[in-house]
Chains A and B, each alone.
Chain A
């Protein structure tokens, strides 16, 4: 009988989408392990919102800290809470904050680490994790070694689990304070540069533009298509490097890794450095004027044509169907 813990990050008084996704995932895994999902909550609003994680799947929640401070500063109470709870796994989001905390857990307690995973199951009382490696060329399955401690740290990409809407409240407890070298990290300056850009990792529908879009102005058509679809805009590295979109929209090897239900790649050739950022999308549609573009090899629907002609017409058609 073993619990499955998960990192529950709060922001602006609410649980983040990753907290809700991991709550569902932890609940699913815990059911197979014969235990319950244990939330490890931190960030502004964590104390007040902890109980609500029950509806998301948590049996109980340990509140680490509610301060507005870098996530890594809760390392002290996190390590103690994990030591005390001894779960079979700790699920962490594959975001910079999640990775910071997962890494500190691995180093402090000497734990096996996996991920980002495509899937994780219980097998013989231990976790078995599936990961995509070598830029998607291989799917590997890993488990902890027999001599390893019983708690595994598992990085989970956004979109791997869907939040569930159940009922119930979780039992909330406060973690005892514990110091760590990470409390020395502090924010000395914060800047908001642009209107909040919707987190790409959390989007269900992404319309992404590449070199073929040609300019900042060219992205206007993609903005409209994304709006019509109820999605967000992303970009390949070529478009971000050219300054047509902010860096935060970059998807790929050195950008974001996304897993939306629909990825519409417009004017993107599909080189491997981009592919690794989006190949796990459920449906991939590509529009490109080059019939030999590599993206044709892994898209579900490949449309050969001029994006400047097709995208506005597609937007209009979608709007028309909505109105009808």
Chain B
């Protein structure tokens, strides 16, 4: 059984430079990383392989040449192969184009399970898994806290406000998982060294039988601005708790948030 995990390379979330009693992460905004939410999909796929249910885990990414980095980082965690779809015509692709292209690649790879993270960290799109399912004509099992494979079917545990449902669909499926899957593993040094030796497959649009005109973005950006500046916070400090409570209540009352 084969799982293809779709991974996206995104800019790192700029962490606050903050000091606490532990040393804090400090990542440059220009550093490119695997979309953090995809790491959960990678972890889930590798666990299924370790459990003996899955024989092969392959990573698929669409992006510029440098997205091969994301594939190698994924392989450093574990896995068997990587496929990069790259083409100048795909620069700035929107969710529809991404889904269309990934679907074409997935049709060629024909896995029993296509697995993705629940959204991407940069645009927070989240529609790609479902759009891929629709294009490929496959059932969608999205937002799984856990993915299980049984004989010929896939199941996810999907949380809701009162508990959870177990949703099931026959293979092949398209699935997405959330961070409830559990902490993604670190790459090991041997994993990194092995990943360097893997030969990645690279496809351009022509290899997928796609015409650049057929994958033009359906949306366009017409403006980008920083958000309107917010006035600085009003600060209450250096007063006792009774005074603080009174002042907060006054503030809330002024804004009609309490009686």
Are the C-beta atoms of B249 and A317 separated by less than 8 Å? Answer: yes
Considering the complex of A and B, which 9 residue pairs feature the smallest CB-CB distances, nearest first?
Answer: A103-B130, A107-B134, A107-B131, A304-B237, A112-B218, A309-B241, A313-B245, A141-B223, A148-B218
Are the C-beta atoms of A113 and B18 separated by less than 8 Å? Answer: no
Are the C-beta atoms of B134 and A303 separated by less than 8 Å? Answer: no
Contacts A133-B123, A314-B248 given; does A107 touch B242 at CB 8 Å: no
Are the C-beta atoms of B217 and A103 separated by less than 8 Å? Answer: no
Contacts A134-B122, A283-B257, A317-B246 given; does A181 touch B130 at CB 8 Å: no
Residues of A within 8 A of B133 (CB): 103-104, 107, 181-182
Q: A271-B15, A301-B234, A317-B246 are in contact. List 18 more A-B contacts (CB 8 A).
A: A103-B129, A106-B127, A107-B133, A137-B226, A139-B227, A145-B218, A148-B219, A182-B133, A184-B139, A190-B165, A190-B166, A205-B257, A247-B159, A248-B159, A296-B235, A300-B230, A306-B241, A316-B245
Which B191-223 residues sit within 8 Å CB-CB of chain A? 216-223
Residues of B within 8 A of A139 (CB): 224-227
Contacts A283-B257, A296-B233 given; does A189 touch B166 at CB 8 Å: yes
Residues of A within 8 A of B134 (CB): 75, 103-108
Residues of B within 8 A of A300 (CB): 230, 233-234
Are the C-beta atoms of A322 and B99 separated by less than 8 Å? Answer: no
- Give 1 or 0 for each of A285-324: 1 = CB within 8 Å of chain B CB: 1110001001011111111111001100110111001100
Are the C-beta atoms of A107 and B130 separated by less than 8 Å? Answer: yes
> From A73, which residue of chain B is reached at the shortest CB distance?
B139
Are the C-beta atoms of A189 and B165 separated by less than 8 Å? Answer: yes
Instruction: Say if the beta carbon of A223 comes within 8 Å of chain B.
Output: no
Chain B residues engaging chain A, CB cutoff 8 angstroms? 13-16, 18, 37, 94-96, 99-100, 103, 121-135, 137-143, 155, 158-159, 161-170, 178-180, 216-227, 230, 233-239, 241-242, 244-249, 251-253, 255, 257-259
Contacts A96-B142, A186-B167 given; does A138 touch B237 at CB 8 Å: no
Question: In terms of DSSP, what is the predominant structure of the interface of chain B?
Answer: mixed
> From B123, which residue of chain A is reached at the shortest CB distance?
A133
In the complex, what distance in Å separates the CA atom of A287 from the CA atom of B244? 10
In the complex, what distance in Å separates the CA atom of A93 from the CA atom of B216? 26
Q: Smallest CB–CB gap between B243 and chain A, Å? A: 9
Residues of B within 8 A of A302 (CB): 233-236
Residues of A within 8 A of B94 (CB): 112-113
Contacts A103-B129, A107-B135 given; does A141 touch B164 at CB 8 Å: no
Q: How many residues of A contact B (CB 8 A)?
A: 96
Residues of A within 8 A of B140 (CB): 72, 100, 103-104, 182, 185
Which A253-294 residues sit within 8 Å CB-CB of chain B? 253-254, 261-262, 269, 271-273, 283, 285-287, 291, 294
Residues of A within 8 A of B219 (CB): 112-114, 142-145, 148
Q: Pick the contact of B257: A147, A193, A261 (CB < 8 A).
A: A261
Are the C-beta atoms of B130 and A197 separated by less than 8 Å? Answer: no
Are the C-beta atoms of A106 and B162 separated by less than 8 Å? Answer: no
Are the C-beta atoms of A298 and B230 separated by less than 8 Å? Answer: yes
In the complex, what distance in Å separates the CA atom of A140 from the CA atom of B224? 4
Chain A residues engaging chain B, CB cutoff 8 angstroms? 70, 72, 75, 96, 99-108, 110-114, 116, 128, 132-145, 147-149, 153, 155, 181-182, 184-199, 205, 229, 247-248, 253-254, 261-262, 269, 271-273, 283, 285-287, 291, 294, 296-306, 309-310, 313-314, 316-318, 321-322
Contacts A140-B224, A185-B140 given; does A197 touch B234 at CB 8 Å: no
Residues of B within 8 A of A145 (CB): 216-220
> From B251, which residue of chain A is reached at the shortest CB distance?
A301
> From B256, which residue of chain A is reached at the shortest CB distance?
A261
Residues of A within 8 A of B37 (CB): 254
Q: Smallest CB–CB gap between A186 and chain B, Å? A: 6
In the complex, what distance in Å separates the CA atom of A55 from the CA atom of B259? 29
Residues of A within 8 A of B259 (CB): 321-322
Are the C-beta atoms of A188 and B168 separated by less than 8 Å? Answer: yes
Q: Smallest CB–CB gap between A159 and chain B, Å? A: 15
Are the C-beta atoms of B245 and A314 separated by less than 8 Å? Answer: yes
Are the C-beta atoms of B163 and A193 separated by less than 8 Å? Answer: yes
Residues of A within 8 A of B249 (CB): 314, 317-318, 321
Q: Pick the contact of A317: B155, B221, B235, B245 (CB < 8 A).
A: B245
